[in-house]
Amino acid sequence: MNKEKKYGFATMQIHAGNQDNSARALCGPIYQTSTFTFDTVQQGGACFAGSESGFVYSRQSNPTLNVVEERVAALEHAEAGIATASGIGAIAAAIYSSVISGDEIIADETLYGCTYAMFNHGLSKLGVKVHFVDLSHPENMKKYLSEKTKVVYFETPCNPTLKLVDIEAVASMAHEYNPEIRVIVDNTFCSPYIQKPLDHGADAVVHSATKYINGHGDVIAGFVVGSNEFIDRCRNFGVVDMTGAVLSPFNAFLIARGLKTLDLRMERHSSNALKLAQFFEAHPAVEKVYYPGLESFEGYDIAKKQMSLPGGMISIELKADKETTAAALNKLELCKIAVSLGDAETLVEHAATMTHFTYSAEELKNAGISEGLVRVSAGLENIEDIIADFEQAFADLI
C-alpha cells in the first residue's frame, strides 16, 4: 500500500495495517509468542524505557495484533486502536482508562446485559456513579452533567431494542458542557462499514469484534479505537495493568481474515434483514417490529443521518404470551436459537431470559425491553429460506 494515498473502505479492510512480513506471505504470519528476545540487556532496557522501539511482551503488543488494530482504527477513521480478548474486555479497558473513584458516568439505560452489569453492579462497588438515562432524548442528560462527569456512554443501535441515539446531538451537548468529557460509543451493531461514530463527534468507539467485525462465530474479541493518547492509556494501563484481557495472536489472524469481507457481509446482512423485517411487519401474529430500515420505526430519521445501511439486527414482539412465543421459536428448523449476533447463520434469542437476564423486571421495563421481545440476527443465507423458516414456525399463531 502507498501510505500517501487515500483508499476506499473495501481496499482498507483488506490492506490497512502494517505487516511485518519478511517471507512476503499473502496472509500475514501468526506471531504465536508470549515474549520477544533482545540482543543485549541494554537493548531490552531501552525497549522498556521506550527509547528504542521493539516488541517486549504480548500482553502489551504483538505484530499480529498490530495489523488488525491498525486496520480497525483506519476503518473507524481513528488515530489508533487496541485489540482485546472480548468486547467486555474492550469496554473495561476504556472505562478503567477514563474514570477513578468519585467520578461519574452518564450511560444510556438500554445496554447489552453484561455491559449493564459492569456499569450497574460493578462500577458502583469501585466508587464510580453511573446515571442511566434515555439518551434517545439527549436533553435527559442535562440534569446529570456535572464537573464529576467523565464519560458519556451508549450503544446505537441499542441491544436489544434497536433504539437509536443521535451521536452528533449527544456528543455536542456533552462537549459544550465540558470538552474533556469522553463520549464513548459501542458500535458493535453497525460495524464501521455502516456507521463511524468518530465522524459524528464521538471521542472513542468500542466493539465486540465477536460479532460483525470477525463475522464467523468462531472468535471472542473486542477493540477500542480513538486518539493516540487515549489508546496508549488503554494499552499501557487499561489492558496491561488492569484487565490483562489481551487478544490471542491466532484470534487476531482470524479477525484479519473475517475483515476482508466486512462490506460484502454487511450489505447482505442488511438486505436480508430489511426483507425479513418487512415480512414480520406484514405477519398477522407480529405485534411490533423494531428495525432502523422501516419507516414505521421511531429512529428512522436518525438512521438516515448516521447509518449508511439499516443493519442486520431486528427485534419483534409477537401477539402471543411468553410461553407461546417460546414454543413458536422452538419450531425453527434452519435459524438457530442462540445469543451473539453478526454471524453467517441467522440467530434468534429471547432477550429477557438470555442476553438481558442481568436486568431486573423493573430495569427491563425502564429500558423498553418487553417480556416477549425476540431478537433476530439476520444471517447470510438465502432470504427465501429464512422467511420460509419463520413462516412455518409462526403458522400456528395465526
Of the residues 66, 136, 149, 208, which one makes contact with ligand LCS according to CB under 6 A:
208
Q: Least Å distance between CB 299 and ligand LCS?
A: 16
Does 188 bind ligand LCS (CB under 6 A)? Our answer is: yes
Asked if 112 is an active-site residue, the reply is: yes
Alpha helices in the chain (DSSP H): 9-15, 41-49, 63-75, 87-96, 113-117, 167-177, 191-194, 228-233, 249-259, 262-282, 300-306, 322-329, 361-366, 383-394
59 is catalytic: yes
Q: Residue from 186, 203, 263, 389 that binds ligand LCS (CB under 6 A)?
A: 186
Q: From the CB of 155, what's the least distance to ligand LCS, in Å?
A: 5
Are the CB atoms for 99 and 36 separated by under 8 Å?
A: no
Examine residue 306 and tell whether it contacts ligand LCS (CB under 6 A). Answer: no
Asked if 132 interacts with ligand LCS (CB under 6 A), we say: no
Provide the minimum distance between the beta carbon of 162 and ligand LCS in the complex, in angstroms, as a whole number.
Answer: 11
Least distance (Å) between residue 304 CB and ligand LCS: 22
Q: Specify the residue, 160 or 293, whose C-beta has the smaller distance to ligand LCS.
A: 160
Contacting ligand LCS (CB under 6 A), which of 13, 62, 120, 159? 159
Q: Any contact of residue 341 with ligand LCS (CB under 6 A)?
A: yes
| Pattern 215-254, ligand LCS, x by CB under 6 A | -----x-x--------------------------------
Using CB positions, name the residue nearest to ligand LCS: 87
Rg of the chain over all Cα atoms, to the nearest angstrom: 21
Alpha-carbon distance values, 1 to 6, 7, 11, 18 (Å): 10, 9, 10, 9
Report whether 288 contacts 320 (CB < 8 A).
no
- The C-alpha atoms of residue 398 and residue 65 are separated, in whole angstroms, by 51
Q: Name which of 109 and 186 has its Cβ closer to ligand LCS.
A: 186
How many C-beta atoms lie closer than 10 Å to residue 214's C-beta?
Answer: 25
Binding flag, residue 153, ligand LCS (CB under 6 A): no
Question: What is the nearest approach in angstroms of ligand LCS to the Cβ of residue 390?
Answer: 20
In angstroms, the Cα distances linking 342 to 38, 126, 210, 289 are 41, 33, 8, 19
What is d(CA 202, CA 372) in angstroms, rounded to the nearest whole number?
33
For residue 42, report the phi and psi dihedrals to the nearest 5 degrees. Answer: -65, -40
Applying CB under 6 A, does 214 fall inside the site for ligand LCS? no
Q: Is 340 in the site for ligand LCS (CB under 6 A)?
A: yes
Furthest-apart CA atoms within the chain: distance in Å:
76
Cell numbers 506471531 label which residue? 31
The contacts of residue 305 (CB under 8 Å, 6+ apart) are 166, 168
57-116: which residues touch ligand LCS (CB under 6 A)? Answer: 86-88, 112, 114-115
Nearer to ligand LCS, 186 or 263 (CB): 186
Identified catalytic residue from 31, 96, 112, 359? 112
User: How many residues at the interface with ligand LCS, by CB under 6 A?
Assistant: 18
For ligand LCS, the closer CB: 339 or 388: 339
Could you give phi then psi for residue 216, rounded to 5 degrees? -125, 10
User: Per the omega criterion (within 30 degrees of 0), is the bond before 157 cis?
Assistant: yes
Angle of CA points 114, 269, 109, to nearest 5°: 30
Q: Closest by alpha carbon to 187, among 98, 317, 81, 284?
A: 81
- Please identify which residue in 61, 66, 210, 243 interacts with ligand LCS, judged by CB under 6 A: 210
Which are the contacts of 97, defined by CB distance < 8 A and separation ≥ 6?
230, 233, 234, 237, 238, 242
| 358 touching ligand LCS, by CB under 6 A | no
Q: Which stretch binds ligand LCS (CB under 6 A): 55-63, 116-124, 174-182, 338-346?
A: 338-346
Residues of this chain that bind ligand LCS (CB under 6 A): 86-88, 112, 114-115, 155, 159, 186, 188, 208, 210, 220, 222, 339-341, 355
Catalytic residue numbers read 59, 112, 186, 211
